[in-house]
Amino acid sequence: MPSHLLMDADDTLWENNIYFEQAIHAFITFLNHSQLSPEEVRAVLDDVERLMGYGAANFTRSLIETYRRLAERDLLDEDIQQVRQLGEQISSHPLQLLDGVKETLDYLVSRHDLVLLTKGDLAEQKLKVERSGIEQYFKQVVIVSEKDVTTYHQVIENLQIDPKQTWMIGNSPRSDINPALAARLNAVYIPHPHTWRLEHEEVQDAGEGQLLTLSRFTELRIHF
């Protein structure tokens, strides 16, 4: 029976967080704090990011704010600019689909209804979708500011879909898997080695929904 397959985008369809991790490594190296370990600097940045929100623009602001808090020297304009460039260069990376994504979408599109469900800055996510070259596979693209249980209930209502025949596919326990299961959807968990730290959670019991864990996106062809 055809299903509704809701698909996350960042780190499910294309690489994303690896570029943020590279920028964070460069930032910690540039900061070169004499007292705090790299992990302690990262903890401060995590706290700032929780306040600033998602996306490359907010990430850039988070880097600058963290630098202002932790810098052990005078805040020079050229140093702030260098930190800003570390964040801004993320947007210049070519968008790279994960292995087998296009071929798998080719297979699934005639069998199921595909919906792209991603969170983040609206303009930023729209641009990624346009650059991806895979927008045509999706009946609808839904961009939200957060993925929580309320969001999934709204998606179910707006799309008029049966939760029992709907699967949320993604890499984030916090945003893709646990709230979808709590909303009585089914879920496919595809871990990514560079999932953003703030998206980490223990995967919860499936409850009324079904949970499938795969090692790569291409394995969807076996199950759907």
Q: For the segment 67-118, what is each residue's pLDDT rounded down to a tens digit?
A: 999 999 999 999 999 999 999 999 888 899 999 999 999 999 999 999 999 9
The CATH number for 117's domain is 3.40.50.1000
- Beta strands per DSSP E along 32-84: none
32-71 pLDDT, tens digit each:
999 999 999 999 999 999 998 888 899 999 999 999 999 9
pTM: 0.89
User: d(Cα 206, Cα 152) in Å, to the nearest integer?
Assistant: 15
User: d(Cα 68, Cα 103) in Å, to the nearest integer?
Assistant: 46
Residues 6+ apart with CB under 8 A from 218: 99, 100, 103, 104
- Cβ–Cβ under 8 Å, residues 9 and 128: yes
- Tell me the residue range of the domain where 43 lies: 17-92
Q: Which residues pair with 144 in a beta bridge?
A: 119
Whether residues 131 and 147 fall in one domain: yes
Decide if pLDDT at 206 tops 70: no
Q: What is the model's pLDDT at position 184?
A: 92
Whether residues 121 and 69 fall in one domain: no
Whether residues 65 and 128 fall in one domain: no
Whether residues 162 and 151 fall in one domain: yes
User: d(Cα 51, Cα 47) in Å, to the nearest integer?
Assistant: 7
In which element (H, E) is residue 64 found?
Answer: helix 56-70
Three-state DSSP class for residue 186 = strand
Look up tokens 């929100």; give the residue: 53
Q: At what angle do helices 56-70 and 17-31 cross, to 10 degrees?
A: 20
Residues 6+ apart with CB under 8 A from 219: none
Q: What is the model's pLDDT at position 209?
A: 72
State both tokens at 108.
């699934």
Domain count along the chain: 2
The CA-atom distances, in angstroms, between 141 and each of 53, 77, 171 are: 21, 40, 18
Whether residues 120 and 147 fall in one domain: yes
Last residue of a domain, one of 64, 92, 120: 92
Last residue of a domain, one of 92, 126, 145: 92
* Residue that wins the pLDDT comparison between 144 and 198: 144
Whether residues 54 and 28 fall in one domain: yes
Whether residues 43 and 145 fall in one domain: no
